[in-house]
Amino acid sequence: MPTSDSRDVFDDAIKRLDRAFGYARIDEEALEKLKHPKAILQVSIPLRMDDGSLRIFEGYRVRHDDTRGPTKGGIRYHPNVNLDEVMALAFWMTIKCAVVGIPYGGAKGGITVNPKELSRLELERLSRGFIRQMADFLGPDTDIPAPDVYTNPMVMGWMMDEYSKIARRHTPAVITGKPVELGGSLGRDDATGRGAFYCIQELEKRNGWKPEEVRVAVQGFGNAGQALAGLLHEARYKIVAVSDSTGGIYEPAGFDVPSLVRFKNESRKLKAVYCHDSVCEVIDARQITNEELLTLDVDLLVPAALENQITAENVEQIKAPVIVELANGPTSSEADAALGDRHTLVVPDVLANAGGVVVSYFEWTQNKQGFYWTLEEVHQRLAAIMTREFNSVYDFAEEHGIDMRTAAYAHALNRIGTSIEALGTQHYFNEQTPPVRSST
C-alpha cells in the first residue's frame, strides 16, 4: 500500500504535461498551476455495520482545477483507493474535459472499501455518509460527482437524495449518472464504451479496417468494457478475449458478446458461454490471466480496468499494434515511451474514455433546464463531439509527428492555457502599455 504522502501515480501522470508543453501555446505559469491540485478533502466515514459494530472508512475528494468550469469526476469504491491515486484521477479529468471541450475542470473522489463485502444497506449508509461529510465541498456549480469503478446509478441516486436533504431543495444537477427515473440522462449507461466505439469507427475509416478481420482483447468487463465489447460485436469486430478481476477467457474464433454479458450480469461470473433463449451452454475457451490477456497476439487491445496495467515490466511483450485506453491511466509513462518507439498507436484515456463525462455534461444541462432529450439526441451529440475531437487530436499528432497522447494533452493545454491566460499572466502584468483598452 502506498503511504499517505506518496505521490508516485500523480507525479507520473503530470510528467505528460512537460512533454506536451513543447507543442502547446501555453504560458509556463499556466502549466505550473496544473501541477498542483486546487483543493483536497479527506474524511473518515463512520459506518454502523449490520451486526451493530462500527467501522471507519477513509474517503477522499480532490478538485484539481476549475479554471474552465465547475469540477467534474467520478467516485470510486475500491480497496486500493488512496489520495495519490485520487489526485492523479482528478488531474486526468481536467485534461479529459478540456480534450473534448466541455466546460468543466477535473475532480475525483473515492472510498477505500471493498464494496463486495458490504450488504446493500451498509452500502447505502456508507454512500449517504460520504455525502454528509462532503456536502460543503460539492454543489451543482462547484463540484459534480459521477460513477466510477464499483459505483453505479443507484449509488448516485442515494447521493443525490442525501445532498438534496442537506440542501433542503431537490438538486439533481449535483451529481450525474443517476437512474433515469431520478433525473439521469438516457444514454449515460453505455456512454463511456460508446465514446470509445466512435473513436474506433474513425480509426476504421482512416485505416480502411475490415471489422470482421480485427481481433480484439478487452481487459475488464465492467460497465465500460461490456458496452464497448457489445458495440464492437454488433459492428462485426471479433472479440477474442475478455477478462474481469478474477481472470480471463480466450477464443480465437471470437465470442458471442451478448451471451457473455448476460451470464456475467446474472451470475457475476465471467464464463465462456453461448446463450439461446433462456439457456446458456458452456463453450470451449482457454482460461487466461489478466497479464496474459495484455500480451495476446491481437489487432486491438482495450485496457478497461484499472491504472498501471501496461508498465515497463510487460511493455516489451505487448503485441497489439493499436491500444484504445478505456480505463483511466492504464499505461505508465515509461511504458508509453516504449510504445512510442515501436509506433504502437495508442488512443489515450483522456480521449478514448471521455464519452462518459460528455454524457454526464448532457445530464447536468438537462437537469438545469428541466428539459430532457431523446436517446437519439444524446447519441447524435455524443458522436458529434467524439468524432470532432478524435479527428482534431489525430490530425494534430500527424502534423507534428507525435503520439496521440502528447497531441491530446497539447490540444487540452491550448484550451486550458487560454482560459488561464485570459485572467492575466506575468507576461501581461509586466507590460507597460495601458492595461485596459475599450472594446467598443
Q: In terms of Cα–Cα distance, which of 412, 394, 359 is closest to 202?
A: 394
Q: Which is nearer to ligand GLU, 154 or 280 (CB)?
A: 154
Any alpha helices (H) in 135-278, and if so which ranges? 153-167, 191-207, 223-234, 257-267
Q: In terms of Cα–Cα distance, which of 196, 242, 194 is closest to 215?
A: 242
Sequence letter at residue 345: L
Q: Which is nearer to ligand GLU, 155 or 241 (CB)?
A: 155
The DSSP letter of residue 185 is P
178 in catalytic set: no
Q: Which is nearer to ligand GLU, 59 or 73 (CB)?
A: 73
**Contact between residue 339 and residue 331 where contact means Cβ atoms under 8 Å apart:** yes
Please give the size of the binding site for ligand GLU, defined by CB under 6 A: 12
* Min CB(353)–ligand GLU separation in Å: 6
* Min CB(175)–ligand GLU separation in Å: 9
Q: Which is nearer to ligand GLU, 73 or 417 (CB)?
A: 73
* Min CB(96)–ligand GLU separation in Å: 6
Q: Which is nearer to ligand GLU, 86 or 261 (CB)?
A: 86
Binding letters toward ligand GLU, positions 337-376, x by CB under 6 A: ----------------x--xx--x----------------
Q: In terms of Cα–Cα distance, which of 187, 198, 197 is closest to 366?
A: 187
Residue 72 makes contact with ligand GLU by CB under 6 A: yes
* Min CB(14)–ligand GLU separation in Å: 17
Query: C-alpha distances in angstroms, 237 versus 121, 229, 241?
Result: 41, 9, 12
* Min CB(83)–ligand GLU separation in Å: 17
Residue 328 makes contact with ligand GLU by CB under 6 A: yes
Segment lying near ligand GLU (by CB under 6 A), choices 69-77, 294-302, 329-337, 416-424 = 69-77
Residues 109-168 that bind ligand GLU (CB under 6 A): 146, 148
Helix %, strand %, coil % of the chain (to 5) = 45, 20, 35
Q: Which is nearer to ligand GLU, 74 or 105 (CB)?
A: 74
Residue 74 makes contact with ligand GLU by CB under 6 A: yes
Closest residue to ligand GLU in the complex (CB)? 74
SS3 for 15?
A: helix
* Min CB(439)–ligand GLU separation in Å: 35
Residues 257-286 that bind ligand GLU (CB under 6 A): none
Catalytic entry in 38, 108, 178, 264: 108
Residue 196 makes contact with ligand GLU by CB under 6 A: no
Among 37, 59, 70, 73, binds ligand GLU (CB under 6 A): 73
* Per-residue buried b or exposed e for 98-128, using 16+ beta carbons within 10 Å of the residue's own CB: bbbbbebbbbbbbbbbebeebeeebbbbbbb
Residue 176 makes contact with ligand GLU by CB under 6 A: yes
Q: How do beta strands 247-250 and 273-276 pair?
A: unpaired
Residue 331 makes contact with ligand GLU by CB under 6 A: no
Q: Which is nearer to ligand GLU, 330 or 356 (CB)?
A: 356
Segment lying near ligand GLU (by CB under 6 A), choices 38-46, 70-78, 196-204, 411-419 = 70-78
Q: What is the DSSP string of 33-77?
A: HTTS-SEEEEEEEEEE-TTS-EEEEEEEEEEEE-TTSSEEEEEEE
The two most distant CA atoms of the chain are separated, in Å, by 78
Residue 325 makes contact with ligand GLU by CB under 6 A: no
* Per-residue buried b or exposed e for 213-248, using 16+ beta carbons within 10 Å of the residue's own CB: ebbbbbbbbbbbbbbbbbbbbeeebbbbbbbbeeeb
377 CB burial (10 A radius; 0-12, 13-18, 19+): middle
Site for ligand GLU, rule CB under 6 A: 72-74, 146, 148, 176-177, 328, 353, 356-357, 360
Q: Indicate which residues carry an active-site annotation.
A: 108
